[in-house]
């Protein structure tokens, strides 16, 4: 059977910006037979995420993420339907997901690498398992639970950078749900600002490309900042940290502004900002959601419940076609998405 797949065509270089041409699509033959323990799947949705930028380098700079190899198939979060199974846990028609799903139209996978999903948890929106009811949702929820130190009723102010992205758009809402009295988002367009305040319940939003971020932060956070959910790093974070209160907390979710630079993770703060952090006893600990696997099951149920109750609004930007994986990746890295960036490979969920 001839299928299509996406391979890594070239590396952008440690300090380069990724482009669609770093990926290429090719046709290959998929074996007709599957072995014991394997399943054949048809891909429905694939995820593109900022952390993948590190996988484009020969050295990811991290011990838990492996680099993609040149001319080899690319992989990441994916969801699909089982077409044939020789694995005891899966039957034809099951919906399954994996963190290492190959970017191809169909695949033969080891059943042990897959997890079954219950479409009911997302009211049938299967792509949500790659977003709000998947890794980005868990990252936001567990990050806030473990590193945010929110106490309901104590008038805390949360600031979220990259606030219209996959994690940011959820983190602000979860901040409110967990008891923050004020949530302010920072993003890069007026359209995103409007969405945050009109649909996602943010109390205010700042467009960092317009006006003075420090001044607007002072206006929108008159009592200072208690919790900072950081998706971006760089200058924006330096500005927020400068207005954080004594004994406040940074949730280090991501540092997308630094991913095209050859710097360690998390990147060191400039000396003046580091001095503020130490002086005010602001926590800034590395947060890795994969260290909290024991909390995944209850986390997914909580996210699903909030979604079904209408308390968690889910946004996604969907691009169609495997041939557009590179375009979607480049767009996501430059802020082209609102909510989770998803690529739809096939919408046909019947067999």
In tens, the pLDDT along 210-237 reads 989 999 999 999 999 999 999 999 999 9
Element (DSSP H or E) covering residue 217: helix 213-220
Q: What is the predicted pLDDT for the residue at 259?
A: 80
Q: How far apart are CA 228 and CA 71, in angstroms?
A: 40
Q: Which residues pair with 319 in a beta bridge?
A: 343
Q: What is the predicted pLDDT for the residue at 342?
A: 98
Q: What does the pLDDT look like over 12-47, one tens digit per residue?
A: 999 999 999 999 999 999 999 999 999 999 999 999
Q: What is the predicted pLDDT for the residue at 109?
A: 98
Q: What does the pLDDT look like over 235-277, one tens digit per residue?
A: 999 999 999 999 999 999 888 778 888 888 888 999 999 999 9
pLDDT-based confidence at 95, cuts 50/70/90? Answer: very high
Q: What is the predicted pLDDT for the residue at 261?
A: 85
Q: How far apart are CA 138 and CA 253, in angstroms?
A: 11
CA angle (26, 330, 7) in 5-degree steps:
20
CA dihedral 222, 226, 230, 233 (to 10 degrees): 70
Buried b (16+ CB within 10 A) or exposed e, 98-120: beebbbbbbbbbebeebeebeee
CB 118 within 8 A of CB 141: no
At 84 the three-state DSSP class reads: strand
Please report, for the chain, the start and end positions of each structural domain, with discontinuous segments joined by +: 2-131+315-344, 135-290
Strands (E), the chain: 2-8, 23-29, 38-47, 75-85, 95-102, 106-110, 115-116, 157-161, 182-187, 204-207, 225-230, 244-252, 283-286, 316-320, 340-344
Q: What is the predicted pLDDT for the residue at 120?
A: 98
Q: What is the predicted pLDDT for the residue at 45?
A: 98
Q: What percent of the chain has pLDDT over 90?
A: 91
Q: What is the predicted pLDDT for the residue at 108?
A: 98
Q: What is the predicted pLDDT for the residue at 329?
A: 97
pLDDT-based confidence at 145, cuts 50/70/90? Answer: very high
Q: How far apart are CA 98 and CA 324, in angstroms?
A: 20
Q: What is the predicted pLDDT for the residue at 168?
A: 97
Question: Does residue 53 register a pLDDT over 90?
Answer: yes
Give me the mean pLDDT over the 143-155 stretch. Answer: 97
Q: What does the pLDDT look like over 177-210, one tens digit per residue?
A: 999 999 999 999 999 999 999 999 999 999 999 9
* CATH among 3.30.70.2860, 3.40.50.720, 3.30.70.100, 3.30.310.50 for 135-290: 3.40.50.720
Q: What percent of the chain has pLDDT over 70?
A: 100
Q: How far apart are CA 214 and CA 288, in angstroms?
A: 29
The DSSP code sequence of 30-81 is PPS---TTEEEEEEEEEE--TTHHHHTSSS-SSSSSPPPPBTSB-EEEEEEE
Q: How far apart are CA 343 and CA 201, in angstroms?
A: 27
Q: How far apart are CA 223 and CA 65, in angstroms?
A: 39
pLDDT-based confidence at 286, cuts 50/70/90? Answer: confident
**What are the CA-CA distances from residue 162 to residues 207, 232, 332 (Å)?**
10, 6, 11
Q: Which residues contact 207 (CB under 8 A, 6 or more apart)?
A: 187, 188, 189, 190, 192, 193
CATH code 3.40.50.2000 for 2-131+315-344: no
pLDDT-based confidence at 294, cuts 50/70/90? Answer: very high
């Amino acid at each position: 059977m001839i299928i299509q797949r996406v391979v890594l065509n070239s590396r952008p270089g440690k300090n380069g910006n990724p482009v669609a041409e770093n990926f290429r699509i090719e046709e290959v033959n998929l074996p007709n037979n599957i072995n014991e323990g394997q399943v054949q799947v048809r891909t429905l949705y694939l995820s593109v995420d900022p952390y993948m930028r590190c996988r484009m380098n020969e050295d990811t700079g991290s011990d838990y993420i492996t680099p993609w190899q040149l001319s080899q198939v690319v992989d990441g979060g994916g969801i699909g339907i089982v077409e044939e199974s020789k694995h005891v846990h899966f039957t034809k028609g099951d919906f399954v997901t994996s963190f290492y799903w190959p970017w191809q139209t169909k695949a033969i996978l080891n059943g042990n690498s897959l997890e079954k999903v219950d479409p009911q948890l997302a009211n049938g929106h299967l792509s949500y398992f790659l977003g709000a009811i998947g890794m980005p949702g868990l990252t936001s929820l567990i990050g806030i639970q473990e590193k945010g130190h929110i106490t309901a009723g104590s008038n805390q102010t949360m600031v979220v950078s990259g606030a219209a992205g996959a994690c940011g758009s959820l983190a602000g809402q979860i901040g409110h749900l967990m008891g923050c009295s004020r949530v302010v988002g920072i993003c890069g367009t007026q359209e995103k600002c409007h969405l945050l305040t009109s649909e996602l319940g943010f109390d205010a939003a700042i467009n960092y490309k317009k006006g003075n971020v420090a001044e607007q932060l002072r206006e929108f956070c008159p009592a200072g900042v208690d919790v900072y959910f950081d998706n971006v790093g760089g200058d924006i974070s330096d500005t927020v940290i400068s207005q954080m209160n004594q004994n406040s907390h940074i949730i280090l979710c991501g540092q997308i502004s630094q991913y095209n630079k050859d710097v360690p993770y998390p990147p060191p703060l400039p000396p003046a900002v580091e001095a503020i952090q130490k002086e005010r006893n602001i926590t800034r600990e590395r947060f890795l959601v994969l260290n909290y696997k024991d909390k995944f099951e209850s986390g997914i149920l909580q996210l699903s419940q909030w979604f079904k109750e209408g308390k968690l609004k889910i946004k996604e930007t969907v691009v169609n076609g495997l041939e557009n994986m590179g375009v979607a990746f480049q767009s996501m890295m430059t802020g082209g998405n609102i909510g989770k960036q998803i690529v739809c490979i096939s919408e046909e969920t019947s067999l």
